[in-house]
A and B are shown apart, each in its own frame.
Chain A
Amino acid sequence: MPPGSFVLARSAFPASGSRRRSTHLAESSPAPESPSPPSTLLTIRNVEKGFGARKVLRGISLDIASGEFITILGESGSGKTTLLRIIAGFERADRGEIWMEGKRLDVTPPYRRPVNTVFQSYAIFPHLSVFNNVAYGLRAAGAPKHEIPERVIRALEMVKMYEFAQAAPSRLSGGQQQRVALARALVNRPRLLLLDEPLSALDANLRRQMQVELKSLQREVGITFIFVTHDQEEAMALSDRIALLRAGHLEQVATPRDIYYRPETAYAAQFIGQTNLLRAEMRDGIATSGAVSWHTFGPPGKVVFSLRPDHIRLVVPARVPSQADVSLARFKGRVANQSFGGSSDLVEIDLGNSQILRARLANPGVLSGDREFEFSSADAVRVREGGDD
């Protein structure tokens, strides 16, 4: 459907027609997945967007389940905010489609989408009181007059801003405005809540506190959250799934644990948590990278592995080395640097030939000189390197 024809595809779009269209699209779409399962709330298909000559999004396809907390994670300029704005309706995709429950969302004007946004700048109306800010959406939707005060107050109670109902927004702190913005969006009971770096303007303590509250709020209301951030720790702490965006394409979409322990690409491994990239040569089931080698499977050739610093352990000298254990890889190196980090220290190990590995060791004491280290070969995860940029 061309982007201009949104009169046809408003909320009045007949459900049967749109369903047929949806299946038809799924068949003709190059994506291998079958028509969305019933729990899918939002389907993004091959969305592309450019500003002038600059391509911001290159063929994004993503299914988002109902009730899910999904984070779009990426560096600044990766296109994450643009993707969010396309879902909200503030930008129009050059190509591709967005479907929500059998209806074309991307051709619906923003004020008819069952989607609400918490803006990075909060965008609180300065001329309206907190109460009237929260009531704005209900009034626009023509909610029954007697219902409005009750719903507004409940929403304000939910974000602990009840006592500020009559306050002017200019008297609120950043954190309080944030809560009002959240209440203003949630009071409409949207099917989908978009959050554009909502915590980035808050200081570290408040931020952590809001993260916890946001997560429990999401469980409480059961609304699907799409959360945009550049902060990988925040993404890991909050999300059911993370969609890692890099220069306009999705690098990996997975649960935080999967993306951490099973990164698919070198970029994902490096962006989410710290890692050691081992460029290895495979031969006869043994991977060799500089001074380190370990048993693994796969065809011969050059392969890149990701090894998390916390997977490297110090070998206790007293123990008898069990060389027969092929699941372990051992190597010797000089402790080049050790930075104290409380419960664990980050240690740089110099293996010679300018090969340096980082290890996160729990309470190792002060280390120096040559030591022996080990890791399970299963923890060295094969990753793809480079992108198509």
Chain B
Amino acid sequence: MYSRAYKSGVTIPPLLWVVVFLLVPYSILFCYSFWSVNSFQVIVHSWSFANYVELLHQPMYFDTFLRSVRIAASVTLFSLLLGYPVAYYLSFHSAKRRELLYQLVIIPLWASYLVRGYAWKTILGTDGVLNGILGFLHITSGLTSLQNTLNNFFAVHPAMHSWHASFVPLSFLLYSPFAVILMLTHIYTPFTFLPIYASLEHIPRDLLEASHDLGASPWLTFRRVILPLSLPGVVAGATFAFVLTLGDFLAPLLVGGPSGIMISNIVASEFGAAYNWPLGAAISLCMLLVIVALLFFTEKLERRLAAS
């Protein structure tokens, strides 16, 4: 049996952690979400559901949230499309180059998020690297219709962007949902890659041999054995990409522009320039609820996939 001192020694640090970093801040946030700000920019400690009612009544909040979900879903999709093949190649076909390739995939994680954001800004800008190349090759004009389509798909107020079409350089590259998706896909693909790679590495290789032995071609083996057994990793990776993107506010700030605003930007502005902490708290709590529900669901899904 463990001594009393040992037991409290192991229990107290995590308990402290939960209380100090989770319970206390979220309780404060919870309280704030029911308060309000008066016309003198002073927070009034009177309790009401006014902030939540405001969130429901103002379509901007819901629209922005919806756009964030769309952007997050796109990032998830693209990082899966990029991460899975890379993980598959590394796990099954890389042989001696595996260590090197693995490090190459992981290295961006060690670089600062901001540095990567600014790098994309330089690449995508109106006078940026990409537009320079496209302009040199005279192929920008054909892409402007694509630009409009993209803007219409993600825009809250399409009228705001009608002037975009008159620009010759591709303005949709920077300050657009496209740029946000591109940058976040770049940043979060390693996060998707890692759990997929781990799940592929966990597949016993004799199962693949057994599948071939039973007459299944490599493609059939992938569909019937590898893919089902790697699904828990896919779900984990997708969760990473989706949740991290949904809460991201730096990418829209750096490369998003007005049409690329996401829900976290609104939270940030409520806590900053707008000075409406209660409303910001209410949005945060709604987001938290959505994400917790999502994590709960994917956790269950992962478990079910892993068990079967």
Q: Which residues of A contact B (CB under 8 A)?
A: 88-90, 109-112, 115-117, 119, 121, 123, 125-127, 136-137, 140-141, 168, 184-185, 188
Chain B residues with CB below 8 A from A184, complex form: 214
Q: Which residues in A have their C-beta under 8 angstroms from that of B209?
A: 88, 90, 110, 117, 119, 123
Q: Please measure, in the bound complex, the distance between the C-alpha atom of A119 and the C-alpha atom of B228, giving whole angstroms.
A: 21
With known contacts A136-B224, A168-B308, A125–B207 Cβ distance under 8 A: yes
Q: How far is the CA of A123 from the CA of B213 in the complex (A)?
A: 11
CA distance A168 to B306 in the complex (A): 13
B133 at the interface (CB under 8 A from A): no
Considering the chains assembled together, what is the distance between the CA atoms of A112 and B215 in angstroms? 6
- Residue among A90, A168, A188 making CB contact with B214, cutoff 8 Å: A188
**In the complex, chain B residues whose CB is within 8 Å of the CB of A112:** 215
Q: How far is the CB of A90 from chain B (nearest CB, A)?
A: 5
Scoring A109, A115, A119 by chain B CB atoms within 10 A of each residue's CB, the highest score goes to A119
Residues of chain B within 8 A (CB-CB) of A188 are 214-215
- On whether the beta carbons of B206 and A119 are closer than 8 Å, the reply is yes
- Is B215 a contact partner of A111 (Cβ separation < 8 A)? yes
Of B213, B214, B220, B229, the residue contacting A126 (CB under 8 A) is B229
User: B229 — which chain A residues lie within 8 A by C-beta?
Assistant: 126-127
Closest chain A residue to B221, Cβ basis? A111
Closest residue on chain B to residue A132 by CB atoms: B224
A127 and B215 in contact, given A90-B209, A140-B220, A168-B308 (Cβ under 8 angstroms): no
Q: Is the CB of B206 within 8 A of A121?
A: yes
Whether a CB of chain A sits under 8 angstroms from the CB of B142 is no
Interface CB pairs A-B, < 8 A, 12: A89-B212, A111-B214, A119-B206, A123-B206, A125-B207, A125-B211, A136-B224, A137-B214, A140-B217, A140-B224, A141-B215, A168-B308
- Contact string, B237-269, partner A, CB cutoff 8 A, digits 1/0? 000000000000000000000000000000000
B207 to chain A: closest residue by CB: A123
Q: Which residues of A contact B206 (CB under 8 A)?
A: 119, 121, 123
User: B130 near A: Cβ within 8 Å?
Assistant: no
* B204 adjacent to chain A (CB < 8 Å): yes
* Cβ distance A186 to chain B, nearest Cβ, rounded Å: 11
B-side contacts of A109, CB under 8 Å: 212
| Contact call A140/B216, Cβ cutoff below 8 A | yes
Closest to A88 in B: B213
Task: Type the 1/0 row for B280-308, where 1 means its CB is closer than 8 Å to any CB of A.
Answer: 00000000000000000000000000001
Check: B210 CB closer than 8 A to any chain A CB. Answer: yes
Q: Which residues 186-212 of B have a CB within 8 angstroms of A?
A: 204, 206-207, 209-212
Partner of B217, one of A111, A116, A121, A123: A111
Q: Are B212 and A110 in contact (CB under 8 A)?
A: yes
A184 and B216 CA atoms in complex are apart in Å by 13
Contacts of A185 in B (CB 8 A): 213-214
The residues of B that contact A116 with a CB separation of less than 8 Å are 213-214
Expressed in whole angstroms, the Cα–Cα distance for A112 and B206 within the complex equals 17
| Interchain nearest-CB distance for B43 vs A (Å) | 54
Q: Roughly how many angstroms separate A307 CA and B215 CA in the complex, as a whole number?
A: 48
- List 6 additional A-B contacts (Cβ < 8 Å) besides A111-B213, A123-B209, A125-B210: A89-B213, A117-B209, A121-B206, A123-B210, A137-B214, A137-B215
Bound CA span A119–B207, Å: 10
CB contacts (< 8 Å) of B204 on chain A: these are 121, 123
CA distance A140 to B221 in the complex (A): 9
- Check A110/B210 contact, CB under 8 A, given A127-B229, A168-B308: no
Chain B residue, CB-CB nearest to A129: B308
Once A123-B206, A125-B207, A140-B220 are accepted as A-B contacts, the answer to whether A117 and B225 lie under 8 Å apart by CB is no
The chain A residue sitting closest to B228, CB to CB, is A127
How many Å from the CB of A151 to the closest CB on chain B? 14
**Structural contact, B207 and A111, CB atoms closer than 8 A:** no
Chain B residue contacts of A125, Cβ below 8 A: 207, 210-211, 225
User: How distant is A283 from chain B, measured CB to nearest CB, in Å?
Assistant: 57
In the complex, chain B residues whose CB is within 8 Å of the CB of A126: 207, 229
Nearest CB of B to A377, in Å: 50
Q: How far is the CA of A127 from the CA of B217 in the complex (A)?
A: 19
Report, nearest first, the 3 A-B pairs whose CB atoms are least far apart. Answer: A137-B214, A123-B210, A140-B216
Residues of A within 8 A of B308 (CB): 127, 168
